[in-house]
Homo-oligomer: A and B are copies of this chain.
């Protein structure tokens, strides 16, 4: 057992801790902004009450200390922001309107009231910025800090939501923003000396601002909620967020759609500084980019005629849209998603697997 058994304390007792569950929940509730119009009853009863749209999209995500983050490199506020942002990223990939979030906080005893409130503020910041209501939650002891977020998004009709399953042969494959930054940022966070090494490497120097931007990509991703809805409006046939790595996520979309994805490795929009970081650790920047994950950009299939309008809509919010390949018919076994260099060599086709990998990310 990973955790020492805790002493049995059946009798309710009040120990020397400065604050209990109910007081802390009350303090967290004080910090919540006004609930959205769909929420009829927020945190504090047995359940929250909402008046949903015609369809809901619901997703859950968990961040676990030592698995998804370390407290040495991420502030409590950043942990709170990332926990809700990564959950909302799934709603972005469905083109859902963000609605409510429900948070379960598992807190070790050594984390105090102020720290939990700081984590709560991170949650509130992203909720406010995205129009999400923090409608409920639970607080418990846990051996490692754990933040589990359930998000509910809304749409007028189920068919307004974009799944992974509709890509058709002939569609263009597009990706928002830039890739590889979160993986490079993780390497920089885990090895503070890496910036100096990377800066000395030949072709591309890594200045302090670029290094900061890469770390921010890892610590504080942005859910592409507006972009997801713009891509849906432009006619996206299938969509997924890039959380496990482009290689893995492209595979999920291909399998769900029963299609083959042909991706041009040289077309990938790689974030500034990734090449320098990859060189500093002796890694291939393309391989780092497609296997690293956590960029939380959107990968979508789109009829080629719709690409220009989608690109224009995203440009209005300052986000690039890049065509990285195309959807092809498949009639048998073999890789569903292939990322190929122009020389012809295919990159590894698998992404990140939570149970197989033990990386901290």
Is A285 close to B, CB under 8 A?
no
A-B contact list, 17 entries, CB within 8 Å: A2-B143, A6-B67, A17-B355, A21-B355, A45-B94, A45-B164, A49-B56, A49-B57, A49-B163, A50-B58, A51-B158, A56-B56, A59-B102, A67-B140, A109-B358, A148-B148, A152-B152
Name, among A3, A21, A151, the residue most crowded by chain B CB atoms within 10 Å (CB to CB). A3
Is A126 close to B, CB under 8 A?
no
State the Cβ distance, A136 to closest chain B Cβ, in Å: 6
| Stoichiometry (number of copies) | 2
> Contacts A353-B21, A356-B20: A2 and B57 contacting too (C-beta < 8 A)?
no
State the Cβ distance, A227 to closest chain B Cβ, in Å: 14
Query: Across the interface, do B49 and A161 meet the contact criterion of CB distance under 8 Å?
Result: yes
> Restricting to A180-208, which residues have a CB under 8 Å from any CB of B?
183, 186-187, 190
> Restricting to A206-246, which residues have a CB under 8 Å from any CB of B?
239-241, 245
Tell me the nearest residue of chain B to A163, going by C-beta: B45
Query: Across the interface, do A141 and B9 meet the contact criterion of CB distance under 8 Å?
Result: no
Query: Across the interface, do A91 and B55 meet the contact criterion of CB distance under 8 Å?
Result: no
Query: Across the interface, do B58 and A4 meet the contact criterion of CB distance under 8 Å?
Result: no
Name, among A56, A100, A245, A291, the residue most crowded by chain B CB atoms within 10 Å (CB to CB). A56
Is A320 close to B, CB under 8 A?
no
Name, among A20, A137, A247, A292, the residue most crowded by chain B CB atoms within 10 Å (CB to CB). A20
Report the Cα distance A151→B137, complex, angstroms: 12
Is A144 close to B, CB under 8 A?
yes
Contacts of A138 in B (CB 8 A): 60-62
Is A64 close to B, CB under 8 A?
yes
Contact with B along A37-62 (1 / 0, CB 8 A): 00011001111111110111111111
Interface segment, one of A28-36, A262-270, A325-333, A344-352: A344-352
- Which of B46, B163, B190, B288 meets A59, CB within 8 Å? B46
Query: Across the interface, do A55 and B59 meet the contact criterion of CB distance under 8 Å?
Result: no
Contacts A3-B65, A52-B56 known; 10 new A-B pairs at CB < 8 A: A2-B108, A2-B144, A12-B247, A12-B291, A13-B356, A49-B94, A51-B56, A51-B158, A61-B104, A64-B143
Contacts of A15 in B (CB 8 A): 356-358
State the Cβ distance, A287 to closest chain B Cβ, in Å: 8
Tell me the nearest residue of chain B to A41, going by C-beta: B163
Contacts of A247 in B (CB 8 A): 12
Tell me the nearest residue of chain B to A107, going by C-beta: B355
Report the Cα distance A24→B353, complex, angstroms: 11
> Restricting to A288-322, which residues have a CB under 8 Å from any CB of B?
288, 291-292
Report the Cα distance A266→B256, complex, angstroms: 60
Report the Cα distance A60→B46, complex, angstroms: 9
Shortest 9 CB-CB distances between A and B: which pairs? A9-B359, A47-B57, A47-B59, A46-B93, A3-B66, A20-B353, A150-B150, A21-B354, A20-B356
Report the Cα distance A106→B144, complex, angstroms: 11
Contact with B along A78-117 (1 / 0, CB 8 A): 0000000000001101101000101110111110000000
